[in-house]
Amino acid sequence: MTDQEKYVLSEIIRITGDSKSRTFWIKAIKDIGCSRVEQDLGELKYQTHKEEKRNPGAYLTTLLKQRWASNVKKPAGKLNIYFEKTQQDLFRHLKPIPIPKDIVGKTDKMPVPFSGKNVPWPTFLGPEFFTLSTNKKKSDKVKAVFRSIDGEIAKFNLIRGKISAGDHKERGIPTVQHQKVFSALEVAWAEQGCPHTTLRDGTILCHATIMARALAKILGWKKFGGRDLTRLKSLIMDLKSMPYCFDFTGSIIKDISNYFFTLLGDFVGFDKIEKGKHTSYFQVYFSSTVSWQLLQRHAVIRPRGMIQIRSELASLLWLYLEPNLRARNNACINLSNLIEVLQLPEAGWHKEPRRRRDQFQKALREINGQRLADGRQMNIKIQKGLYDWQLIAWLEGYSIKLPGESQPGN
């Protein structure tokens, strides 16, 4: 069995307490597919959370047998290769229409979807996944920091813009502008009930279809013309083509040395003439890596107002501060260290204490006093420390319990 299959098996036994059915669980994982079994296990966790199940093993067995019944292969039909009758038919079929479910798999919505009022943000995506627009590099290597619920912190090498350390092609690093578009796409997905499709091999992909102008509205763009449409298309396409790679060499992760992925898996668009005006639509599929995180609720709920922050430095600060404040309610860091933690591209103001203070002070104007999705207010100030200016942050107010939200991971 692979490491992932062993993990799923151990989770099944832990949750059901039924180790005697080990042979059955292994056969289900092998025959149905690890991803599909994980999905049913997630359903069991959700139902168990809602109400106590007297026999969770029996409930999971029922779900898996239903999977088995729907997994029976149908006889292959005759293969047809044909030309379209007319040129109109040829190009009309380029439009992203729904594919029949019996060919692709099962399309569904989450039983308890995320609210479109906030951003469902995958916990593994921290500030180190994005850079400032002033960064002219097409690739680099940084440290990604991950925090688990037990308080443990792990650091991994993250290669931005390449699919491996030895890759000679540099594909670009997503900036804060990409992060905002990605957040807006997640909001659009949540507003539509969190639709997702399970493919035949068990892969699960979250997807959304949205009008370009509606996406620009979520982003807070006051105007939306031809150039803005082109810019929006470009940013979304970058999310599909700019890769990340984890270099796990010498880390606590065993058996895997590299893992690379993108934030989006597919992106198509089309323009229609509606009421005499051109209207653009986007159809976006999140990558399987992001989709799994979202559907397993490995996400922290962040306010939509975060998307409309103008300062790129302030946006990175928010991504850094929020998980730290959620974990400890307060944070304190020297500005020189903060530059290193945020892994900012080199700039002249980094070396001078007063210029550092002034730059961060400008960024704080937008986020100081902002509220998290749970209602607490984020207070931030800069004060003189022993050796450097320090950023001090703390939360005030009462926390509102957000349904379906996981603990912060990054």
What band does 85 get if pLDDT is binned at 50, 70 and 90?
A: low
The residue range of the domain holding 31 is 3-70
Of 13, 44, 70, the last residue of a domain is 70
**What is the enclosing helix (H) or strand (E) of 213?**
helix 212-219
- pLDDT(294) > 60: yes
Across residues 318-341, what is the average pLDDT? 91
User: Are residues 29 and 155 both part of a single domain?
Assistant: no
* Beta pairing class for 195-199 and 258-261: unpaired
In a domain, 323, yes or no: yes
Q: Which pLDDT does position 358 carry in this prediction? A: 95
How many domains does the structure of the chain reveal? 2
Judge whether 98 lies within some domain.
no
Residue of 111, 116, 164, 167 lying closest to 295 (CA atoms): 111
Look at residue 378 and give its three-state secondary structure.
strand
Tokens of 66: 């239903």
pLDDT reported for residue 22: 83
Residue 408 lies in a domain: no
Q: Which residues pair with 211 in a beta bridge?
A: 281
Q: Write out the DSSP string of 187-212.
A: HHHHHTT-EEEEETTS-EEEEEEEEH
103, part of any domain: no
Residues 290, 177: one domain? Answer: yes
Query: Same domain, yes or no, for 134 and 49?
Result: no
One domain, residues 217 and 325? yes
Structural contact between residues 160 and 129, judged by C-beta atoms closer than 8 angstroms: yes
Please check whether residues 130 and 240 belong to one and the same domain.
yes
Last-in-domain residue among 35, 51, 70: 70
Radius of gyration for the alpha carbons in the chain, expressed in angstroms and rounded: 23
Residue range 105-150, pLDDT digits in tens: 567 777 778 888 999 998 889 999 999 999 999 999 998 887 766 6
Considering the domain architecture, whether residues 249 and 383 belong to the same structural domain is answered as yes
Q: What is the pLDDT of residue 76?
A: 45
Nearest C-alpha neighbor of 391 from the set 325, 311, 333, 320: 333
If asked whether residues 22 and 131 sit together in one domain, one would say no
User: Which of the two residues, 210 and 270, has the higher pLDDT score?
Assistant: 210
The HSE-up count of residue 389 (CA atoms within 13 Å, CB side) is: 19
pLDDT of residue 102: 42
**Do both 49 and 190 map to the same domain?**
no
What does the mean pLDDT of the chain come to? Answer: 84
Residue 102 resides in a domain: no
Question: 52 and 172: one domain?
Answer: no
Instruction: Please tell me the predicted confidence (pLDDT) of residue 71.
Output: 63
Report pLDDT for 96. Answer: 46
Do residues 122 and 63 share a domain?
A: no
**Cβ burial, residue 323 (10 Å; 0-12/13-18/19+):** buried
70, 93, 127 — which closes off a domain? 70
pLDDT value at residue 386:
85
Residue 217, domain member (yes or no): yes
Task: Specify if 96 maps to a domain.
Answer: no
pLDDT in tens, 15-60: 878 888 888 888 888 888 887 888 787 777 767 766 666 788 887 8
360 pLDDT band, cuts 50/70/90, is very high
User: Do 174 and 65 belong to one domain?
Assistant: no
* Residue 378 and residue 232 share a domain: yes
Place of tokens 């500030």: 127
The verdict on residue 228 lying in a domain is: yes
Average pLDDT of 262-273? 90
Residues making up the chain, counted from first to last: 410
